[in-house]
């Protein structure tokens, strides 16, 4: 796992490169409140679990999916299980069909508009 961390004002960004496809998973949060979101959910649960353990002080309250390619979404169910709490999943309306395949509870799905598939 390759990790890069940046801080600016109250924002904390950490990027981790995971899996053989070198996908990124981002944690973005407020340094003051410790509230954070994850960006994307690649399917490298072993490295993502290590990443979440190292960043246990962050209150991850949402996962934002940039698009529905398998290498950005297939780890979603495992990440939700690791976090072991109710969490909002933000995804573009046009990309949301993949969530049905992953059996994600629709109660937690929030949509943003995306103009292109």
Domain of 76 in residue numbering reads as 2-112
pLDDT band at 3 (very low <50, low <70, confident <90, very high): low
Distance CA 45, CA 50 (A): 9
pLDDT of residue 106: 87
Read off the tokens for 44.
């490298």
Q: How many domains does the chain have?
A: 1
Task: Give the tens place of pLDDT for each residue, 49-94.
Answer: 888 888 888 999 999 999 888 888 888 999 999 998 999 999 998 8
Task: Look at residue 95 and tell me if it is in a domain.
Answer: yes
Q: 117: closest CA among 98, 89, 90?
A: 98
The CATH number linked to 71 is 3.60.15.10
Distance CA 68, CA 34 (A): 28
The runs of H, that is alpha helices, within 1-117 are 45-54, 70-73, 76-83, 97-101
Task: Look at residue 117 and tell me if it is in a domain.
Answer: no
Task: Look at residue 7 and tell me if it is in a domain.
Answer: yes
5/62: higher pLDDT: 62
Read off the tokens for 11.
């924002």
Distance CA 26, CA 48 (A): 11
Task: Look at residue 93 and tell me if it is in a domain.
Answer: yes
Task: Look at residue 105 and tell me if it is in a domain.
Answer: yes
pLDDT of residue 33: 96
Task: Give the tens place of pLDDT for each residue, 8-22.
Answer: 899 998 877 766 667
Residue 38 carries which DSSP code? Answer: E
pLDDT of residue 17: 72
pTM: 0.84
């Amino acid at each position: 796992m390759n990790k890069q961390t940046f801080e600016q004002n109250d924002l904390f960004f950490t990027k981790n490169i995971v899996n053989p496809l070198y996908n990124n998973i981002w944690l973005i949060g407020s340094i003051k409140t410790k509230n954070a979101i994850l960006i994307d959910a690649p399917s490298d649960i072993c490295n993502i679990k290590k990443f979440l353990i190292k960043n246990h002080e962050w209150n991850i309250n949402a996962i934002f999916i940039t698009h529905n390619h398998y290498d950005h979404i297939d780890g979603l169910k495992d990440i939700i299980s690791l976090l072991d709490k109710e969490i909002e999943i933000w995804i573009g309306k046009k990309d949301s069909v993949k969530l049905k395949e992953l059996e994600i509870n629709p109660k937690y799905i929030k949509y943003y508009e995306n103009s292109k598939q």
